[in-house]
């Protein structure tokens, strides 16, 4: 039997029933998986293992209901490679409910009873306690690291169903782990306690070594109120785009993952770019759409015009819905479909059709509901596809068990990264590259 609830309410239904000396968050080297030599599964959890600066901080969090052991659903993963250092892995834990001590973390190399211990980023004190201080982080949803060694964080400002603080974009310098920029959205581009800003896609127009990383555009999905917000970093301004393609399709509002079904009418959520177009889809849809970036980047289309509706295009259909998506340097777009559970890729030079999809031999049992996905280049020049699987279908159906592995981070080695992929956007080769 399916249930009809919004994403946050589904999490509320589940979670209402149920040491000092932080490291820098640099985790262990991923271990190979038995299923595929290109696949690694470096981290698994039954439930999340939070660290605290001291025992007194832990006790205070428990006493104030700011820490409930079983609470916390990791949504996004973001690896960060620096030369001569192991990978540092970020995760987000949005505050779908109270009882989550912090919502942006790094994974340590220390183990707890239920999985690796996570540490707050950038610090324990930088996190908002349920909306009490809007200068802190309230609810980090997804993040994006750019070639500028900077990380953009989308803080939805929501706790449960309530907007406690204005949604904001936070920019961290990963060389120093300092906050260097904050942009609070105003209510001209979102609706409090109705909008939910979740997915930031960042395009840097002046990347290093020649540029200074000031000309960045950030595209943010409003999953609940079905729109797209565009932020111009240099101008420090934002505008909103709306289109029927950002709305859920009622024919695909009931999702089945690993034999369990739930109903969730989420709009635009999955987004990625080849630096010329934004590719996007609602969660409740099997259709992929696109719009040119130059159209989105022109605020006049949306502030004073018709919204350039004719520039939004349907590309084609998949066999099933998917959530997260990402693009590699060869313009291959990845997503994990729900039913059947498959990791697929499509090259943007081809028609969006099943005959042009590449399918990967990954065990379905470890790919259940992939909510976060990134493509990064490691220190050996190989591209990796990082995914976080959280078995959300069990959260929605209230069948999650804490004695089972519920959360996994997976790493799939794709192949050699294309050199200088952004140097000439009009001269893009179109070949798939995979490791043998």
- pLDDT single digits (tens) 86-99: 899 999 999 999 99
CA distance 20 to 57: 10
State both tokens at 168.
């904001």
Asked if pLDDT for residue 436 goes beyond 60, the answer is: no
pLDDT band, residue 37 (cuts 50/70/90): confident
Residue 16, φ and ψ in degrees, nearest 5: -75, -15
Residue 293 belongs to what H/E stretch? Answer: helix 293-296
Please check whether residue 187 is in contact with residue 170, taking contact to mean a CB–CB distance below 8 angstroms.
no
Three-class secondary structure of residue 251 per DSSP: helix
Kindly list the distances between the CA atom of residue 358 and the CA atoms of 52, 103, 193, 197, 345, in Å, as whole numbers in the listed order: 43, 34, 40, 31, 5
Asked if pLDDT for residue 33 goes beyond 50, the answer is: no
CA distance 161 to 401: 24
Asked if pLDDT for residue 398 goes beyond 50, the answer is: yes
- pLDDT single digits (tens) 264-305: 999 999 999 999 999 999 999 999 999 999 999 999 999 877
More confident residue, 200 or 421: 200
DSSP state of 127: B
CA distance 411 to 369: 15
Asked if pLDDT for residue 126 goes beyond 80, the answer is: yes
State both tokens at 376.
């990064």
Contacts with 57 (C-beta within 8 Å, 6 or more apart), sequence order? 124
Report the side by side order of strands in the sheet with 277-282.
268-273, 277-282, 287-292, 313-317
More confident residue, 27 or 213: 213
Q: CA 259 from chain center: how many Å?
A: 24
Please check whether residue 218 is in contact with residue 200, taking contact to mean a CB–CB distance below 8 angstroms.
yes
Note the pLDDT of residue 284: 97
Of residues 201, 211, 233, 232, the one with CA closest to residue 423: 211
Residue 88 burial (10 A CB sphere; 0-12, 13-18, 19+):
buried
- pLDDT single digits (tens) 91-125: 999 999 999 999 999 999 999 999 999 999 999 99
Asked if pLDDT for residue 21 goes beyond 50, the answer is: no
Asked if pLDDT for residue 207 goes beyond 60, the answer is: yes
Asked if pLDDT for residue 31 goes beyond 80, the answer is: no
Tokens 């939910």 identify what position? 196
Residue 270 burial (10 A CB sphere; 0-12, 13-18, 19+):
buried
Of residues 75, 92, 64, 82, the one with CA closest to residue 7: 75
Note the pLDDT of residue 35: 54
Asked if pLDDT for residue 32 goes beyond 70, the answer is: no
Note the pLDDT of residue 283: 97
Task: Report the percentage of the chain scoring pLDDT > 70.
Answer: 88
Please check whether residue 154 is in contact with residue 198, taking contact to mean a CB–CB distance below 8 angstroms.
yes
Asked if pLDDT for residue 6 goes beyond 60, the answer is: no
Tokens 């919204």 identify what position? 307
State the chain's mean pLDDT as an integer. 89
Predicted structure pTM score = 0.89
Of residues 223, 133, 214, the one with CA closest to residue 181: 214
Residue 55, φ and ψ in degrees, nearest 5: -65, -35
Residue 147, φ and ψ in degrees, nearest 5: -70, -5
- pLDDT single digits (tens) 327-370: 999 999 999 999 999 999 999 999 999 999 999 989 999 999 99
Asked if pLDDT for residue 429 goes beyond 80, the answer is: no
Asked if pLDDT for residue 22 goes beyond 80, the answer is: no
DSSP state of 92: E
Mean pLDDT of 313-325: 97
Please check whether residue 271 is in contact with residue 219, taking contact to mean a CB–CB distance below 8 angstroms.
yes
Contacts with 155 (C-beta within 8 Å, 6 or more apart), sequence order? 137, 138, 139, 140, 141, 165, 167, 168, 169, 170
- pLDDT single digits (tens) 185-204: 999 999 999 999 999 999 99
More confident residue, 184 or 5: 184
């Amino acid at each position: 039997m399916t249930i009809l609830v919004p994403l946050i309410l589904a999490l509320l239904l589940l979670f209402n029933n149920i040491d000092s000396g932080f490291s820098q968050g640099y985790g262990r080297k991923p271990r190979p998986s038995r299923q595929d030599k290109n696949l690694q599964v470096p981290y698994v959890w039954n439930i999340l293992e939070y660290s605290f600066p001291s025992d007194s901080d832990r006790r205070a969090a428990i006493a104030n209901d700011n820490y409930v052991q079983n609470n916390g659903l990791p949504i996004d993963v973001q690896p960060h490679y620096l030369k001569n250092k192991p990978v540092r892995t970020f995760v987000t834990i949005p505050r779908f409910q109270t009882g989550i001590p912090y919502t942006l973390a790094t994974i340590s190399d220390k183990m707890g009873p239920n999985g690796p211990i996570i540490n707050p980023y950038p610090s324990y004190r930088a996190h908002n306690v349920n909306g009490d201080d809007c200068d802190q982080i309230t609810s980090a949803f997804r993040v994006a690291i750019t070639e500028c060694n900077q990380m953009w964080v989308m803080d939805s400002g929501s706790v449960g169903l309530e907007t406690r603080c204005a949604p904001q974009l936070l920019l961290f310098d990963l060389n120093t782990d300092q906050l260097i920029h904050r942009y609070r959205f105003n209510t001209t581009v979102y609706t409090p306690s109705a909008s939910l800003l979740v997915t930031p896609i960042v395009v840097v127009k002046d990347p290093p070594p020649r540029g200074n990383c000031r000309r960045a555009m950030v595209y943010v999905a409003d999953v609940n109120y079905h729109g797209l917000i565009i932020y111009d970093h240099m101008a420090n301004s934002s505008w909103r785009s709306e289109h029927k393609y950002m709305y859920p399709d009622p024919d695909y509002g009931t999702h089945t993952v690993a034999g369990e079904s739930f109903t969730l009418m989420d709009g635009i959520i999955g987004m990625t770019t080849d630096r010329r177009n934004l590719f996007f889809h609602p969660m409740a849809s099997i259709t992929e759409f696109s719009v040119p970036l130059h159209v989105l980047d022109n605020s006049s289309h949306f502030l004073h015009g018709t919204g350039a509706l004719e520039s939004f295009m349907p590309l084609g259909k998949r066999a099933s819905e998917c959530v997260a998506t990402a693009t590699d340097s060869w313009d291959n777009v990845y997503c994990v479909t729900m039913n059947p559970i498959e990791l697929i890729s499509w090259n943007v030079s081809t028609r969006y059709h099943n005959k042009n999809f590449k399918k990967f031999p990954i065990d379905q049992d470890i790919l259940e509901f992939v909510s976060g996905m990134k493509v990064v280049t490691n220190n050996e020049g190989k591209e990796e596809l990082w995914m976080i699987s959280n078995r959300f279908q069990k959260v929605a159906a209230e069948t999650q068990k804490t004695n089972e592995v519920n959360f996994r981070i997976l790493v799939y080695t794709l192949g050699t990264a294309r050199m200088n992929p952004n140097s000439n956007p009009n001269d893009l080769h179109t070949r798939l590259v995979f490791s043998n």
